[in-house]
């Protein structure tokens, strides 16, 4: 280490880095989060160097023991992080040299901070993806179980936020679950591209030492080493792909949150959220605010921002590594934290949703939600659909004038619009009859909802088995 510059790379420099520049370019304040992965990668690298004869077995053991002790210092909060040492890698390496002497300086043989940090981030992302997947699985399992229980609970289905046709609460929840299924598949697909090892690419062109990258990849649990050294050190597609997944997931959670916020309002009164997921007002004692879904809805924007930040970060970079890439970590770290916390909140909250079945039922009865069923009824009786559409429109206009739902009209009132209508019409004008009539895969019939929940449960179990 150069005494003149006090930097691990300072041999060719004639003066120390400006104090402000040292702070400005340092990343240790945030990349120390990668310490566990950095030590994990260093242990695998040292093990590989010993296997190919670059290090002796004794040197390897000394390095591994020193790194293990440093890991303990970090976990106990005893490690002294230094800004002049710039980053997590040099802080750990300097501490290792302090502990074991010149052998510590041999650890960096055959690698660069460029391939080292790329490896650390991938190890970190792999760990975090596994945690996030566990929360996503927990949410999906809770949502499927709730949907199964509420397969018969009537509620209005909406288009344009206007009452359209009756559905069930279970069917609606399974629509949410379908969104999460696609998110889950995207996450697992992203993990495949995360699990590629850059280590061994060194600064950009590989190394002249007789390393064995397949050994290191196996030790670290990577599927394979990266094929091209230039791409290996400069690729951040996996980070962009993760934040893309995160953005789509948060968009879905935000849509769910919007409905939860609406449904808990006095105007809808469809559901109740347990008190532990809500807060009150400092001035209005009656208030019970759905803060968890509101916050999830609000956090969506920051994740979108992280995706745009990473795309912008990478869009103009020539090969290979550039200092710009130091800016990848903070948005990525925050996206990881935000996704994990939002999923945990939803996984805890969704199974505890309490539907207000009477309110949902009454809401489904309003707005002429069985009008389409009446049109379909007429078509089955031989009326052309466009004529049936007009007949039902006239019936709805009459209902608006008399303040009667279609199911509340007498047979004589309905027959003034079409003599084709008979007594059996009332079988399709009830909510139960309407929902039960859509008895096909993907339909609203309670038996179909339960079957869909069963298929979703089986598909989730299979996905977990493949992961």
Q: Which of 27, 89, 172, 281 is catalytic?
A: 281
Question: Mapping DSSP to helix (H, G, I), strand (E, B) and coil, where does residue 381 land?
Answer: coil
Q: How far apart are CA 242 and CA 192, in angstroms?
A: 11
- Residue 441 burial (CB count, 10 A): 8
Known catalytic residue: 316?
Answer: no
What are 154's strand-pairing partners? 168
What angle, 0 to 180 degrees and rounded to 10, lies between the N-to-C axes of helices 169-194 and 446-466? 10
Instruction: Mark out the alpha helices in 368-441 (DSSP H runs).
Output: 371-380, 385-402, 411-415, 426-429, 431-437
What are 167's strand-pairing partners? 155
The Cβ-side half-sphere exposure at 297, using a 13 Å CA radius, reads 13
Q: How far apart are CA 201 and CA 216, in angstroms?
A: 12
Q: Which of 160, 282, 316, 440 is catalytic?
A: 160
- CA dihedral of 39, 45, 48, 49, whole degrees rounded to 10: -120
Question: Mapping DSSP to helix (H, G, I), strand (E, B) and coil, where does residue 225 land?
Answer: strand
Please enumerate in sequence order all residues whose Cβ is within 8 A of that of 375, keeping only pairs 6 or more positions apart, or say none.
385, 388, 389, 391, 392
Query: Pairing relation of β-strands 196-197 and 354-355?
Result: unpaired
What are 279's strand-pairing partners? 289
As a whole number of Å, the end-to-end CA separation of the chain is 45
User: Residue written as tokens 């509101």?
Assistant: 294
The DSSP result for 10-25, as a single string, is GGG-SSPPPHHHHHHH
Q: Can the peptide bond before residue 320 be classed as cis, meaning omega within 30 degrees of 0?
A: yes
Known catalytic residue: 281?
Answer: yes
C-alpha distances (whole Å) from 373 to each of 123, 205, 427, 438, 439 are 55, 68, 10, 10, 13
Q: How far apart are CA 359 and CA 155, in angstroms?
A: 8
The Cβ-side half-sphere exposure at 329, using a 13 Å CA radius, reads 21
Q: Contact, 428 vs 379, CB < 8 A?
A: no
Q: How far apart are CA 43 and CA 67, in angstroms?
A: 7
Active centre residues (catalytic): 160, 281
């Amino acid at each position: 280490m150069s005494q003149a510059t006090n930097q691990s790379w300072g041999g060719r420099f004639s003066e120390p880095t400006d104090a402000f520049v040292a702070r400005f370019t340092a990343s240790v304040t945030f990349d120390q989060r990668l310490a566990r992965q950095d030590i994990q990668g260093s242990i695998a690298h040292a093990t590989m160097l010993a296997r190919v004869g670059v290090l002796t077995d004794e040197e390897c053991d000394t390095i591994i023991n020193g790194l293990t002790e440093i890991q303990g210092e970090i976990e106990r909060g005893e490690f002294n992080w230094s800004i002049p040492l710039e980053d997590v890698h040099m802080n750990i390496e300097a501490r290792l040299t302090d502990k074991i002497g010149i052998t510590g300086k041999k650890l960096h043989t055959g690698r660069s901070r460029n391939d080292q940090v790329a490896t650390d981030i991938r190890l970190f992302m792999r760990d975090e993806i596994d945690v996030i997947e566990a929360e996503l699985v927990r949410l999906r399992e809770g949502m499927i179980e709730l949907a199964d229980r509420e397969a018969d609970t009537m509620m209005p289905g909406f288009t344009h936020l206007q009452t359209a046709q009756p559905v069930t609460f279970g069917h609606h929840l399974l629509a949410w679950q379908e969104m999460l299924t696609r998110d889950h598949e995207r996450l697992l697909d992203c993990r495949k591209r995360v699990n590629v090892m850059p280590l061994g690419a060194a600064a950009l062109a590989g190394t002249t030492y007789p390393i064995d990258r397949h050994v290191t990849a196996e030790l670290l649990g990577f599927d394979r080493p990266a094929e091209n050294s230039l791409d290996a050190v400069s690729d951040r597609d996996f980070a962009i792909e993760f934040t893309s997944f995160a953005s789509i997931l948060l968009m879905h959670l935000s849509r769910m949150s919007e409905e939860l916020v609406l449904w808990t309002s006095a105007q809808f009164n469809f559901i109740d959220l347990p008190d532990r997921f809500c807060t009150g007002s400092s001035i209005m004692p009656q208030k019970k605010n759905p803060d968890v879904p509101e916050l999830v809805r609000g956090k969506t924007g920051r994740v979108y921002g992280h995706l745009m930040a990473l795309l912008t970060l990478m869009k103009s970079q020539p090969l290979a590594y550039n200092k710009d890439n130091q800016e990848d970590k903070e948005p990525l770290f925050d996206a990881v934290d935000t996704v994990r916390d939002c999923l945990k909140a939803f996984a805890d909250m969704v199974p505890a949703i309490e539907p207000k079945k009477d309110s949902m039922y009454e809401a489904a009865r309003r707005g002429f939600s069985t009008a389409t069923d009446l049109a379909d009824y007429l078509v089955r009786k031989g009326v052309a659909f466009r004529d049936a559409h007009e007949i039902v429109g006239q019936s709805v206009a009459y209902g608006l004038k008399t303040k009667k739902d279609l199911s509340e009209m007498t047979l004589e009132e309905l027959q003034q619009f079409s003599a084709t209508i008979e007594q059996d019409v009332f079988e399709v004008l009830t909510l139960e009859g309407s929902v039960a009539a859509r008895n096909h895969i993907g339909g609203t019939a309670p038996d179909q909802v339960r079957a869909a929940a069963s298929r979703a449960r089986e598909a989730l179990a299979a996905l977990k088995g493949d992961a």
